[in-house]
Amino acid sequence: MSFSELKKKSKMGSLTEKLIKQVEKLNSSSGNDKDDERFWKPTLNKKTETGYAIIRFLPAAEGAEDEYVQVFSHAFQGPGGQWYIENCPTTIGRKCACCENNTKDWSTGDKQIQNIVRDRKRKLSYYANVYIIKDPDCPQNEGTVRIFKFGKKIFEKIDSVLRPKFQDDSPLNPFDFWTGADFKIKVLKKDGYWNYDSSEFSTSSPLLGGDDDALKEIYEKLHDISEFVNPNNFKSNDELQARLDKVLGNLPSVSKKKKLDPEVQDEMDREYQEISSKSSKISSNMDEDDSDEDAENALDYFQRLSQM
């Protein structure tokens, strides 16, 4: 829709009604972005081990239907040390070799096997456009439109203002230019992981004072997040089954097929030593923590290693 149509629908409240229905649907159902400059994430101050930023969730881009998209993925280490890091095709309603394998193993009733299955469960991530209002540790990000990848804890905070539990609280559409609200991200490092529990929405207010010219400029910079649920970005079930077999040890390890340069291997070994002690925690925390920098760094490392 055009910017003028967006503003008209905001006044009518139809955008909020649409979003509430979308969230209700999600709640009733059960790529490598590290070097992508479109993405943004808060910065953790190394001295205080805290992070702070103020952002504004933005509406759907022109021609797009959704303010955000959700993506399921798997990330776990097999018995031979290789990693399975893949988008889960259940995101787009397709069969998933890993999910099918998990269902089969879970049905055995063996508690030990079921614990392994828990480590291989799906991770749920969300992608949305945001406007960076304040980023004290990286002020160069302020005033930019970026893609923010977040997890269920932040999504629950979105849901809590969109569908408040108490009768005297009015629904607030945080993705609305005019009736939305700033989101204050507060990060604490808890047990080695990033914790977003203290993050909160401010009171409702128009972004940038409701300046139509400024808002229209932002609207024209929105990214098309539909690419993250594009079927072309999901491997076929046969490809995923082949990768799963390899990770689970049903095929010869690819690490034996290609040797790294000694200097490169030494560097990766040092990196491995720094993060391997935390790698076992990755899968168990995937559905519980919004964004864990240590886990993401470990996954990036093992993803590179698995492709060699």
For the chain, the straight-line distance linking the first and the last C-alpha, in angstroms and rounded, comes to 44
Dig out the tokens for 69 from the structure: 């998209």
d(CA 171, CA 163): 6
The CA-atom distances, in angstroms, between 119 and each of 42, 77, 101, 223 are: 27, 9, 13, 33
202 contacts: CB under 8 Å, gap ≥ 6: 181, 182, 183, 184
Burial class (CB in 10 A: 0-12, 13-18, 19+), 3: middle
Residues making up the chain, counted from first to last: 308
Q: What is the pLDDT of residue 48?
A: 87
Q: What is the pLDDT of residue 28?
A: 39
Q: What is the pLDDT of residue 301?
A: 42
What's the predicted TM-score (pTM) here? 0.72
Each of the 308 residues of the chain gets a pLDDT tens digit; together they read: 777 777 777 766 666 666 666 555 444 333 445 568 899 999 988 888 899 999 999 999 998 889 999 999 999 999 989 999 999 999 999 999 999 999 999 999 999 999 999 999 999 999 999 999 999 999 999 999 999 999 999 999 999 999 998 888 889 999 999 999 999 999 998 888 899 999 999 999 999 999 999 999 999 999 999 999 999 989 999 999 999 999 998 754 444 444 555 655 555 555 544 444 444 343 334 344 444 444 444 444 444 444 44
91 contacts: CB under 8 Å, gap ≥ 6: 70, 71, 72, 229, 234
d(CA 217, CA 206): 15
The full set of domains in the chain, from first to last, is 1-308 (3.90.198.10)
